[in-house]
């Protein structure tokens, strides 16, 4: 059956916002033109309007830190459960046999799964391999980004390491990768690797987004990172930053001050870091989270994402930002509103994207989820959703549930012996 999507929209009727108000949202192309009190008597044009009674409407989530090239590989890779080092070893062994088409197929499937859940922008890291074809993952994800350009905004980050020469990084950027990445804390000399990645970004005038201090007790590079980029004009972000969550209060305050002064935007990744960190602590296991409260209190931009989905770094996950929000509340002790901000406007800001959501003048990137309140939406994670990208309906999931009525007579005991 041919899909009726994407479909341009004009008015979203009787939508409930996170503050509880009922509104009509008028769209003008890719932008929100008006947000007015709901008019229940207004006529609905089925060709261009949506009746959103019973739905909560929020800014469409963004995924600020994904690994689409790795996604959905757990079953095929059959890795042992374990920490970051074991995950890296398992992924490298599996990836050696992966073709460009293999990578593209899994990445495409996961990107569309994220879209169905409401995410309309993804920043994905893509590995630069240490073999005969180091850029096959890059080619695969450039293809997927271009194929899905009308449905979802995808940013690509070149993820290398000390084994990847500068010319391979440069080749990735030449093929269309947007951002310089890396994981300096894993290098033999973390600070040297940090500055090498920043040198490449500086040379190319490119944004930078580094995996940063992803351990409970390892090296701390984020202050050097912040100091180096403080005067830059190009965007900069840091993912994971788990080490911040284990620092003493006085040292943490100094680190957070440097991060805030540099406008270094932080991305926390609860589901994956809760899985990867703490295996060496079977008792009183620490949480693999950054210092979210200290960062927010200092005015640092904090975005949140899922990171890995069903691959050697995380065997579970739905690619659903509401799952991330739920974990931020449970494990990170954020409020419901703070958790929503982290997966929506905070995530977009960490990706340096323009403002979006149910606000006049903002981009019409919206998620409608079947729920009466923000708490219900995050707690239930109802898959009954409508997703709007650039003012067009691009995904719809409808759920039918049938439950026997209460009070029905109990079944008669079986006469069969």
Write the pLDDT tens digit of every residue in 128-165.
999 999 999 999 999 999 999 999 999 999 999 999 99
Q: Is the pLDDT of residue 416 over 80?
A: no
Q: Which CATH number is 7-59+359-397 given?
A: 2.30.40.10
Select from 342, 413, 411, 417 the least CA-distant residue to 378.
Answer: 342
**What tokens appear for 56 in the block?**
């909560």
**What tokens appear for 65 in the block?**
């830190």
Residue 407 is predicted with a pLDDT of 83
Span 304-313, average pLDDT: 97
What pTM was estimated for this model as a whole?
Answer: 0.96
Span 72-91, average pLDDT: 92
DSSP-assigned letter for residue 69: T
Cα first-last separation, the chain:
49
Segments of 250-294 assigned E as strands = 265-268
Instruction: Give residue-wise pLDDT tens across range 348-364.
Output: 999 999 999 999 999 99
CA dihedral defined by 236, 237, 238, 240, rounded to 10 degrees? -170
Instruction: Give residue-wise pLDDT tens across range 278-303.
Output: 999 999 999 999 999 999 999 999 99
Select from 377, 324, 340 the least CA-distant residue to 56.
Answer: 377
**What tokens appear for 247 in the block?**
């620092």
Q: Is the pLDDT of residue 414 over 80?
A: no
CATH 2.30.40.10 spans which residues of the chain?
7-59+359-397
Q: Which CATH number is 62-350 given?
A: 3.20.20.140
Largest Cα separation within the chain, whole Å, is: 82
**Tally of CB atoms within 10 A around 153:** 20
CATH 3.20.20.140 spans which residues of the chain?
62-350
- Peptide bond preceding 6 in cis form (omega within 30 of 0): yes
Instruction: Give residue-wise pLDDT tens across range 360-388.
Output: 999 999 999 999 999 999 999 999 999 99
Q: Is the pLDDT of residue 1 over 60?
A: no
> Residue 164 burial (CB < 10 Å; 0-12/13-18/19+)?
buried
Share of the chain above pLDDT 70, in %: 98
Q: Is the pLDDT of residue 220 over 90?
A: yes
Span 331-337, average pLDDT: 98
Residue 2 is predicted with a pLDDT of 59
CA distance 317 to 45: 38
Q: Could you give the residue ranges of the DSSP H alpha helices within 69-184?
A: 74-77, 84-95, 100-117, 136-147, 166-175
Span 174-179, average pLDDT: 98
- 265 three-class SS: strand
Cβ atoms of 236 and 209 within 8 Å: the answer is: yes
CA distance 263 to 235: 9
Residue 69's pLDDT band (cuts 50, 70, 90): very high
CA distance 183 to 49: 46
Span 304-319, average pLDDT: 96
Share of the chain above pLDDT 90, in %: 94
**What tokens appear for 153 in the block?**
């905004």
Residue 110 is predicted with a pLDDT of 99
Q: Which string of DSSP letters, residue by residue, matches 141-203?
A: HHHHHHHTTTT-EEEEEEE--TTS-HHHHHHHHHHT--EE---GGGSSSHHHHHHHHHHHHHH
How many H-runs (helices) and E-runs (strands) does the chain carry?
14, 17
Q: Is the pLDDT of residue 417 over 70?
A: no
- 84 three-class SS: helix
Q: Could you give the residue ranges of the DSSP H alpha helices within 205-343?
A: 222-229, 249-261, 270-276, 292-297, 321-330, 336-343
Please, how many CA atoms are within 13 Å of residue 155, restricted to the half-sphere of its CB? Answer: 25
Span 92-121, average pLDDT: 97
Select from 355, 340, 359, 354 the least CA-distant residue to 25.
Answer: 359
Span 382-411, average pLDDT: 94
State how beta strands 55-59 and 236-240 pair: unpaired
Q: Is the pLDDT of residue 197 over 90?
A: yes
- 399 three-class SS: coil
């Amino acid at each position: 059956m041919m899909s009726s999507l994407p479909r341009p929209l004009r008015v979203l009727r009787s939508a409930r916002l996170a503050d509880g108000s009922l509104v009509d949202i008028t769209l003008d192309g890719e932008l929100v033109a008006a947000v007015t009190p709901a008019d229940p008597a207004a006529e609905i044009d089925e060709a261009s309007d949506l009746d959103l009674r019973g739905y909560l409407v929020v800014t469409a989530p963004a995924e600020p830190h994904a690994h689409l090239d790795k996604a959905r590989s757990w079953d095929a890779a059959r890795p042992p459960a374990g920490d970051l080092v074991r995950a890296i070893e398992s992924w490298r062994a599996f990836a050696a046999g992966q073709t460009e088409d293999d990578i593209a197929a899994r990445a495409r499937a996961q990107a569309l799964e994220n879209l169905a859940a409401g995410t309309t922008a993804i920043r994905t890291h893509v590995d630069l391999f240490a073999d005969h074809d180091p850029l096959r993952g890059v080619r695969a994800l450039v293809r997927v980004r271009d194929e899905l350009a009308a449905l979802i905004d995808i940013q690509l980050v070149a993820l290398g390491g000390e084994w990847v020469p500068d010319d391979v990084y440069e080749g990735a950027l030449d093929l269309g990768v947007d951002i310089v990445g890396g994981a300096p804390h894993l290098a033999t000399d973390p600070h040297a690797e940090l500055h090498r990645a920043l040198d490449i970004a500086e040379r190319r005038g490119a944004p930078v987004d580094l995996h940063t201090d992803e351990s409970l007790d390892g090296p701390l590079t984020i202050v050097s990172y912040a100091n180096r980029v403080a005067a830059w004009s190009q965007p900069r972000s840091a993912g994971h930053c788990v080490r911040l969550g284990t620092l003493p209060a006085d040292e943490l305050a100094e680190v957070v001050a440097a991060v805030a002064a540099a406008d270094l935007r932080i991305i926390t990744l609860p589901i994956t870091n809760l899985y990867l960190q703490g295996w060496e602590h079977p008792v009183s296991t620490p949480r693999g989270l950054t210092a979210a409260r200290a960062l927010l209190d200092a005015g640092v931009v904090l975005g949140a994402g899922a990171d890995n989905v069903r691959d050697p770094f995380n065997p579970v996950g739905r690619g659903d930002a509401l799952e991330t929000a739920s974990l931020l509340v449970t494990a990170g002790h954020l409020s419901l509103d703070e958790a929503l901000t982290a997966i929506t406007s905070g995530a977009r800001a960490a990706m340096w994207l323009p403002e979006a959501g149910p606000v006049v003048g903002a981009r019409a990137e919206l998620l409608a989820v079947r729920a009466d309140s923000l708490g219900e939406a995050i707690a239930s994670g109802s898959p009954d959703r409508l997703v709007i990208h650039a003012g067009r309906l691009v995904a719809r999931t409808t759920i039918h549930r049938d439950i026997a009525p209460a009070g029905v007579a109990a079944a008669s005991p079986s006469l069969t012996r």
